[in-house]
Structure 1
Amino acid sequence: MTARIQIVGIGDDGLDGLTGQARQIIDSATLIIGPKSLLDKLPKSAARHVAVGSNLDQLQQAIGGVGDSPAVVLAGGDPLFYGIARYLTDTFGKEKFEVIPHVSTMQLAFARVKESWDDAYLTNLATQPLDRVVDHVRTSELVGLFTTKAITPSVVAEALLDRRIDYFTAYVCENLGTPDETVTQGDLQSIRGQSFGEMNVMILVRKQGASDRPSGSDQRRLFGNPDDLFLQSRPKRGLLTPSEVRCIALAELGLTPTSIVWDVGAGSGSLAIEAASIANRGKVFAIEMDAEDYGLMIENAKMFDVPSLVPIHGQAPDAFKDLPNADAIFVGGSGRFVPDLVSAAIARLSSNGRVVVNVSSPDNLVSVQAVLAKANLQQDVRMINIARGQYQLDRVRFAALNPTFLILGRR
């Protein structure tokens, strides 16, 4: 059964860029609904044009008024790629529509700058809060952004520079597919001072070898600091322990101002640094074998001013040899050696000590539980599922972090 309403993607080049099928559908329609900017690209015809903007109620009314006559909804580019098709199919049902996509302007933009977009972070600033987007950009290699009239490339550049993110080359691609097509290349500092047309896509390419940098905020919490306050390791690795998981782990470690703490596999030091803020009259030994992460931990410790932190560049369990016994031990990691590290660490746990192990795989969960049981430790488990709110159109949606397990043990 043929769908009654055709959602047709159209580019900035209008009818010239459409397939024969798409042109035939538009030519046979008696009702065409879409933004005025797209309707103006069509030649005069007997079809009735209904202009709708970004008002979703107005769009719903227009769709609800469609009878049995052939009708078309015009959408920019690919209607299913940050387009209106998902909203319409969710609202009225998929059976009511057929989608005829066009090449997305995002795809055209990546083609113009000759970058593959299969691993890029892609989003639309019309549906995502800028602060959330900046957080994602900070740890990405390649970024594609649909900007808006209010959140222009210059506004994006300003927001990134305010967070000390200056390690991207920027491309602003305007009026793609038209005779007025323009691609502007520059660093974020130069993009910040320029004006661009409304029809643009912004591409960000991370400079080779650039490390993530913290936001530079002067506000510090005792624990649970936002992830972007820390220097972080290479893109797509990020902090080993996100802020929400960090808060729970620190609470379960039962720290006091004089605690002796081990952080085994400390990464760039987020948990160890916050533990050192709590145990400010004790000692926090942060063990990390990766040279890059160890260097970042040193820099983070300087920013947070935690003299009780003792960074150790070494490999566990050999690095345990010269350490004092611990009141609290945190072990984080995803490798098959985690159970062995836990076994070696808890042998050095004080009589009233606690251990918290953070793993992401069920196999490691079971193995670590077996290690704690063999050592006669009382144990408990937390499975943590965290979803962070994101605003899309007029709704709040949630983006889930990877589930993780905390295994708790105490003497």
Structure 2
Amino acid sequence: MSPVLPAATSAISVVGIGADGWDGLPARSRRVLGAAEVLIGGPRQLDLLPAAECPGERIAWPSPLRPAVPGLLAAHEGRSVAVLASGDPMFYGIGRTLAETVGAERLHVLPHPSSVSYACARLGWAVEAVETVSLVGRALAALTASLHDGRRLLVLSEGARTPAAVAGLLRERGFGGSRMRVLEQLGSDRERIVNGTAQHWTADPVDALNVIALDLVRSPDALRLGAGPGLPDEAYEHDGQLTKRYVRAATLAALAPAPGELLWDIGGGSGSIGIEWMRTDRSCRAVAVEKDAVRAERIARNASALGVPALQVVTASAPDGLAALPTPDAIFIGGGLTAPGLLDACWAALPPGGRLVANTVTLESETLLARWYGERGGELVRLAVAQAVPVGGFTGWRQAMPVTQWSVTKAGVGA
């Protein structure tokens, strides 16, 4: 998050503009832009303003944009500043960055219809029933977590080649039969819709200003990945170090992720707990701590394949590798419980209200958890799973190793 600038009295106007440019702006937005001494925006947006009606000094955003915002605004303190944004500035736009930098109270936002509103209007889709995924400045793999049979998605494109990349991802993930529509230059007199399917997509490149509409269709033989915890074990690349499906679901229930929260997944193994924590909500974050470099690389591959490429992987031993990490809302310990000082370090790192969940299958670690349970409370359970398997011509139960799980919420300061 960018630092908030010192308090100031001058307001910053943030004006949304569409592909139709000056002609599509309401009178109020035109007046603000015409009166501004400084006009800041992307080159494409600035070029939409007629010089005669908007005589202010024009400044294009540098790259990278976000680190430059505080200095650029401070340099023009005391002058009337108008910032241009595509569509609605508060929908995946510059408005959020400005609010976090100067404070929302200094902004005067004049929104324009967003590309999502235009797209839904053209398609006859209800805005509230459609999920939107932005690939602007984000990894293509982030789309994977939103792929579900029968769903409708709108994808905000990075540029002209994004639709072809999306089509390739859909084919790889078993969604090649999905209908794709690319809506170009929405709101302008150059609007166009390109139709096709992911399996047979050939329109490359398209106009750089586009939104992709997807009607998702999963192939019957593609692995089904639900929205809840407990993905199939075969969804993961692993070497045997994997919290199995049913124990994983119980573990996520005990961790109780909520939007915006951060998890430490210690002894990451294959990364399954951190990955499924992040899949519960786009704003959830996780750090997987794994001392084995090969496994750490595997965690990153699993995270990308399952739609959460932003999962942070730290290759280090715990507790040594924990010191520089941001404060967690929850901690899961899936390995290394008997490492000297690990539980103490994790407990010290948790804020009041933070949750800790630890799983083990060994008597030594179970003894340690029993002691901590006696001192700190919480819940100590044993999870046992048996699966039906062939026994000759009949069927019997094969018992997996039971897992002892301790879960606890830190009660308060000094607890």
> d(CA) in 1 for partners of 2:150 and 2:243?
21
Instruction: Indicate if the aligned counterparts of 2:386 and 2:399 stay in contact, CA closer than 8 A.
Output: no
Instruction: Indicate if the aligned counterparts of 1:224 and 1:244 stay in contact, CA closer than 8 A.
Output: no
2:58 maps to 49
Identical-pair percentage: 26
Residues 212, 327 of structure 1: alpha-carbon distance in 2 compared, 3 angstrom cutoff: closer
Q: 1:16 aligns with which of 13, 17, 23?
A: 23
Q: How many residues are aligned here?
A: 267
1:152 maps to 162
* 3-state SS of paired residue (1:118): helix
1:25 maps to 32
Structure 2: give runs of 5+ residues left out of the alignment. Answer: 1-7, 226-233, 246-270, 277-332, 335-356, 364-382, 410-415
Per-residue deviation at 1:111? 1.6
Q: 2:407 aligns with which of 379, 382, 385?
A: 382
What's the CA shift string for 1:252-310, capped at 9, x where partnerless?
4679xxxxxxxxxxxxxxxxxxx9xxx9xxx9426xxxxxxxxxxxxxxxxxxxxx589
Structure 1: give runs of 5+ residues left out of the alignment. Answer: 228-241, 256-274, 287-307, 311-321, 329-352, 357-379, 385-411
Per-residue deviation at 1:104? 0.4
* 3-state SS of paired residue (1:133): helix
For 1:100-115, list aligned pairs within 5 A. 100-115=110-125
Per-residue deviation at 1:21? 1.4
> d(CA) in 2 for partners of 1:183 and 1:104?
17
Per-residue deviation at 1:158? 0.8
Per-residue deviation at 1:175? 0.5
Residues 104, 327 of structure 1: alpha-carbon distance in 2 compared, 3 angstrom cutoff: same
Per-residue deviation at 1:174? 0.4
Instruction: Indicate if the aligned counterparts of 1:4 and 1:69 stay in contact, CA closer than 8 A.
Output: no
Per-residue deviation at 1:15? 1.6
* 3-state SS of paired residue (1:191): coil
Residues 8, 218 of structure 1: alpha-carbon distance in 2 compared, 3 angstrom cutoff: closer
Q: 1:84 aligns with which of 94, 100, 107?
A: 94
Larger radius of gyration between Structure 1 and Structure 2: 1
For 1:8-407, list aligned pairs within 5 A. 8-45=15-52, 46-56=55-65, 57-138=67-148, 141-149=151-159, 152-207=162-217, 213=223, 219=237, 221-222=239-240, 224=242, 243-244=272-273, 252=360, 284-285=386-387, 308=389, 327=399, 354=402, 381-382=406-407
Question: What amino acid is the match of 2:200?
Answer: S
Which has the larger displacement, 192-201 or 55-64? 55-64
Instruction: Indicate if the aligned counterparts of 1:121 and 1:140 stay in contact, CA closer than 8 A.
Output: no
Residues 139, 121 of structure 1: alpha-carbon distance in 2 compared, 3 angstrom cutoff: farther
Per-residue deviation at 1:127? 3.5
Question: What amino acid is the match of 1:176?
Answer: L
Residues 323, 191 of structure 1: alpha-carbon distance in 2 compared, 3 angstrom cutoff: closer
Residues 210, 145 of structure 1: alpha-carbon distance in 2 compared, 3 angstrom cutoff: farther
Instruction: Indicate if the aligned counterparts of 2:175 and 2:219 stay in contact, CA closer than 8 A.
Output: no
> d(CA) in 2 for partners of 1:41 and 1:206?
35
Aligned Cα root-mean-square deviation (Å): 4.1
Instruction: Indicate if the aligned counterparts of 1:163 and 1:214 stay in contact, CA closer than 8 A.
Output: no
Per-residue deviation at 1:202? 0.6
Question: What amino acid is the match of 1:111?
Answer: A
Question: What amino acid is the match of 1:285?
Answer: Q
Question: What amino acid is the match of 1:152?
Answer: T
Per-residue deviation at 1:383? 5.9
Question: What amino acid is the match of 1:77?
Answer: G
> d(CA) in 1 for partners of 2:93 and 2:178?
27
* 3-state SS of paired residue (1:197): coil
* 3-state SS of paired residue (1:164): coil
Question: What amino acid is the match of 1:88?
Answer: L
Residues 170, 69 of structure 1: alpha-carbon distance in 2 compared, 3 angstrom cutoff: same
> d(CA) in 2 for partners of 1:168 and 1:198?
22
Residues 78, 140 of structure 1: alpha-carbon distance in 2 compared, 3 angstrom cutoff: farther
> d(CA) in 2 for partners of 1:383 and 1:150?
50
* 3-state SS of paired residue (1:61): helix
> d(CA) in 2 for partners of 1:202 and 1:226?
36
> d(CA) in 2 for partners of 1:30 and 1:250?
59
What's the CA shift string for 1:392-411, capped at 9, x where partnerless?
xxxxxxxxxxxxxxxxxxxx
What's the CA shift string for 1:32-91, capped at 9, x where partnerless?
111111111111132111122543244443322223222100000111100011111112
Question: What amino acid is the match of 1:7?
Answer: V
> d(CA) in 2 for partners of 1:176 and 1:193?
18
